[in-house]
Amino acid sequence: MIKTENIWKTYKLGEVNLTVLWGVSLVINKGSFVAIMGPSGSGKSTLLHIIGALDVPSQGKVFLEKQEISKVSEDTLAKIRGQRIGFVFQQFNLLPNLTALENVILPMVFQGTNEKQRIERAKKLLTDMGLEKRFNHKPNELSGGERQRIAIARALANNPDIIVADEPTGNLDSSTGKKIMEIFINLHKEEKKTIIVVTHDPNIAGYAEETIHIKDGRIIQNHFQKEKILWEKQSV
Amino acid sequence: MGQIREYIKIAIRSLRRSPVRSWLTMIGVVIGVFLIISLLSLSEGIKGAMMEQLNMMGNDLIIIMPGEINDLATMMAGGLELTDDDIKAIKKAEGVDKIIPMNYKAEAVRHEGRVKTVLINGVSWEEGLDLLKDDMGWQLTVGDWPVAGKKELIVAKAVPEDIFPGMEVGDEVSIRGKNFKVAGILKSLGNKQDDSTLTMDLNLFIEVTGEREGAKVVMAKIKSGYEVDEVVENIENNLNESRKRRRGEDLPSFSVLSSEKISDIVGNVMAIIRAAIFGFASIAIIVGGIGIMNTMYTSVHDRIKEIGIMKAVGAKNRTITAIFLIESGFFGLFGGLGGIILGLALAKLAEFAVQTTGTLYLKASITPQLVLFGLAFSFFIGCIAGYLPSRSASKLKPVDALRYE
């Protein structure tokens, strides 16, 4: 379970302070598939980065299960990112000098997994993604859809509970994007992963179980599941 | 550790990404290591050649020469002599068993129609032959030692090879109109100059050259039971005494040398040369290191996004530092490898050149330790050079790094 308690994110730009998140509180339950949707500049990516331990809030607390991660050391955050969270980015963010296989192996190297296991698991993950013929290709030799699938395989390398995706279909055409979202649905259903997707596109958000709306750094729609269920009951 | 291997892979990949830049980066280290390796191995070789020569000289032998050993230039210019009085004074010194005066002079020598100027040594066979054989390592490859009373001489190794090709034992040579038979050919004396001489009995020498008195070199054999240093001092004292008594004359100074003293001098000279080599080479290597540092800063800058990606998938700060440190270490290592290969090539080339033309029989000294030291040292330099850039890479914040275009 992921919880944020009244988190703020402010950047100092010379003399001016830029506040991107204004006291955001939310709860994401374990095993749920959530979309965070909002227009450009709404702070959704910043929120995702903080939830994903890539960044820390200027104020407020973030909890990953019982562990508070808002004020821990860089090394601890790195460990969390490596072991418990898998990232998927809009621009894929693969290392251009490494092959598909090596890209997927990389997170496991950082966790000290032994070589044989690393290679086996990477091959399995890429095969699951339908890329068994692409092990030794470099990213620049592959299509956008293939690259994103490598990125997803990489995100799964250390078998994290949580997958965090920032506009995963943003650089893909709609049919490829659909395939990617179906992979996420599968990961959610079959492997019981917690999946958090940030998007501006309602179609993409529609794949998720629930959507959190964010605008100007604030959650608009009331998020807590209880209230949502009540609301839905009311509308029925 | 399996991780280090992966980091090495990453490092080598990025080195190969822009080969031109990589090569340019390494040039500084290549030059520095090249200087160290080639000059060190040559200086070791020179030292070795000199030591070998010294070893041929026994340690119960003292050599007395006119001139100050410290003023090598004047000494080498020649023309200085020890007088007969000097020779007597040396003989009288306590602890001196035998003395063998030697003289030499360049003369025109004729053999089978060819005339060349050759250095001729004059040594008393009666007194000196044993000393030459036992203490100075003189040996014949062909022929016999000259018989007393006969007009015979021996030639050193290079004479029948380079000066009078085709010369054989039994041939006749003519010096200032007098004929001599070549009785034997010597084994190499260790340096080209000595190997280009003729040697005859002192009496014959005096007859031919007209040099009646004095000696250019006096060799003194020490009586058993005496310490070398002691006898050196005695000889010096005696010579000084004898000269004091002849105060009216202007006499050149002298040097009394034991094999120990000579090897000390050689050692000192070599140490100075080595220090100079290290000095220059260090400068080159520092410059090379700065080149690596510059490239690493650029490399880090080019890969800010990659660093963000690595951090996003779980790399700790020290992992990033390690990856870049290994990369800069490899710049040093490959630069060092290049320097070593070039350095060894040059040393071998110099060895070849000196052997065919020069004065010493030089052997370039290439030990595995030298090579390993060179490689380790260059890797180390690379790591030092890359330290600051690697640290700055590790401090990048993941979000900022990922955002960088």
In a domain, B258, yes or no: no
Cβ–Cβ of B402/A93 closer than 8 Å? yes
Q: What is the pLDDT of residue A227?
A: 47
Q: How far is B13 from chain A (nearest CA, A)?
A: 7
| Probe site for chain B from A20, A110, A115, A167 (most B CB atoms < 10 A) | A110
Cβ–Cβ of B314/A78 closer than 8 Å? yes
- Residues A100 and A137: beta-carbon distance below 8 Å: yes
In a domain, A46, yes or no: yes
Tell me, yes or no, if B48 comes closer than 8 A to chain A by beta carbon.
no
Beta bridge partners of B184: B143, B154
In a domain, A63, yes or no: no
Task: Give B25-41 pLDDT, tens digit per residue.
Answer: 888 888 888 887 777 77
Cβ–Cβ of A82/B13 closer than 8 Å? no
Identify the burial level of A33 via C-beta atoms within 10 angstroms of its C-beta, where 0-12 means exposed, 13-18 middle and 19 or more buried: buried
Mean pLDDT, chain A, integer: 89
Task: Give B183-221 pLDDT, tens digit per residue.
Answer: 889 888 777 788 888 888 888 888 888 777 778 888 888
| Probe site for chain B from A47, A97, A113 (most B CB atoms < 10 A) | A97
Q: How far is A161 from chain B (nearest CA, A)?
A: 14
Structure-block tokens of residue B173: 């040579």
Assess whether B339 and B270 both reside in one domain: yes
Identify the burial level of B169 via C-beta atoms within 10 angstroms of its C-beta, where 0-12 means exposed, 13-18 middle and 19 or more buried: middle
Rounded to the nearest angstrom, the gap between the alpha carbon of residue A136 and the centroid of all alpha carbons in its chain is 26
Residue B100 has pLDDT above 60, yes or no: yes
Assess whether B206 and B281 both reside in one domain: no
End position of a domain, from candidates B217, B251, B285: B251
- Residues B344 and B37: beta-carbon distance below 8 Å: yes
How confident is the model over B345-369, as a mean pLDDT?
Answer: 72
Q: How far is B329 from chain A (nearest CA, A)?
A: 19
Identify the burial level of B368 via C-beta atoms within 10 angstroms of its C-beta, where 0-12 means exposed, 13-18 middle and 19 or more buried: exposed
Residue A162 corresponds to which amino acid? I
Nearest to B189 by CA among B38, B45, B49, B343: B49
Q: What is the pLDDT of residue A226?
A: 47
Structure-block tokens of residue B102: 């030697």
- Residues A71 and A58: beta-carbon distance below 8 Å: no
Assess whether B311 and B184 both reside in one domain: no
Assess whether B233 and B294 both reside in one domain: no
Q: What is the pLDDT of residue A172?
A: 92
d(CA A2, CA B310): 24
d(CA B358, CA A130): 72
Cβ–Cβ of B397/A55 closer than 8 Å? yes
Beta bridge partners of B102: B123, B217
Give me the domain span that covers residue B197: 81-251
Cβ–Cβ of A110/B319 closer than 8 Å? yes
Q: What is the pLDDT of residue B51?
A: 74
Q: What angle do CA A226, A230, A236 make, to 5 degrees?
A: 145
Residue B233 CB partners (closer than 8 Å, separation 6+): none
Q: How far is A111 from chain B (nearest CA, A)?
A: 8
- Residues B16 and B331: beta-carbon distance below 8 Å: no
A167 contacts in chain B (CB < 8 Å): none
d(CA B237, CA A181): 104
Q: How far is B349 from chain A (nearest CA, A)?
A: 41
Assess whether B222 and B157 both reside in one domain: yes
d(CA B309, CA A165): 14
Could you give phi then psi for residue B185, rounded to 5 degrees?
-120, 135
In a domain, A65, yes or no: no
Tell me, yes or no, if B58 comes closer than 8 A to chain A by beta carbon.
no
pLDDT tens string, chain A, 236 residues long: the values are 888 889 999 998 888 999 999 999 999 999 999 999 988 888 899 999 999 999 999 999 999 988 899 888 989 999 999 999 999 999 999 998 889 999 999 999 999 888 899 999 999 999 999 999 999 999 999 999 999 999 999 999 999 999 999 999 999 998 999 999 999 999 999 999 999 999 988 889 889 998 999 988 888 865 454 444 555 555 54
Assess whether B9 and B91 both reside in one domain: no
Cβ–Cβ of A110/B314 closer than 8 Å? yes
Within chain B, how many helices (H) and strands (E) appear? Answer: 13, 10
Task: Give B134-147 pLDDT, tens digit per residue.
Answer: 777 788 888 888 88
Assess whether B269 and B384 both reside in one domain: yes
Domains held by chain B: number: 2
Cβ–Cβ of B310/A95 closer than 8 Å? yes
Rounded to the nearest angstrom, the gap between the alpha carbon of residue B221 and the centroid of all alpha carbons in its chain is 28
Q: Report the CATH number that the domain containing residue A186 is assigned in CATH.
A: 3.40.50.300
Structure-block tokens of residue B337: 């490898």
Residue B377 has pLDDT above 50, yes or no: yes
In a domain, A155, yes or no: yes
In this complex, the residue of A97, A102, A107 whose CB is nearest that of residue B313 is: A107
How confident is the model over B261-289, as a mean pLDDT?
Answer: 83
Domains held by chain A: number: 1
Residue B403 has pLDDT above 90, yes or no: no
Structure-block tokens of residue B159: 């004479």
In a domain, B299, yes or no: yes
Assess whether B184 and B293 both reside in one domain: no
In a domain, A8, yes or no: no
| Probe site for chain A from B4, B7, B304, B313 (most A CB atoms < 10 A) | B313
B314 contacts in chain A (CB < 8 Å): 78-79, 81-83, 107, 110-111, 158
Assess whether B173 and B124 both reside in one domain: yes
Q: How far is A154 from chain B (nearest CA, A)?
A: 8
Cβ–Cβ of B316/A97 closer than 8 Å? no
In a domain, A12, yes or no: no
End position of a domain, from candidates B225, B251, B277: B251
B399 contacts in chain A (CB < 8 Å): 49, 54-55
Assess whether B210 and B234 both reside in one domain: yes
Task: Give B144-175 pLDDT, tens digit per residue.
Answer: 888 877 888 888 888 888 888 888 888 888 88
Assess whether B111 and B236 both reside in one domain: yes
End position of a domain, from candidates B251, B279, B314: B251
Assess whether B240 and B135 both reside in one domain: yes
Give me the domain span that covers residue A83: 28-53+72-213+220-235
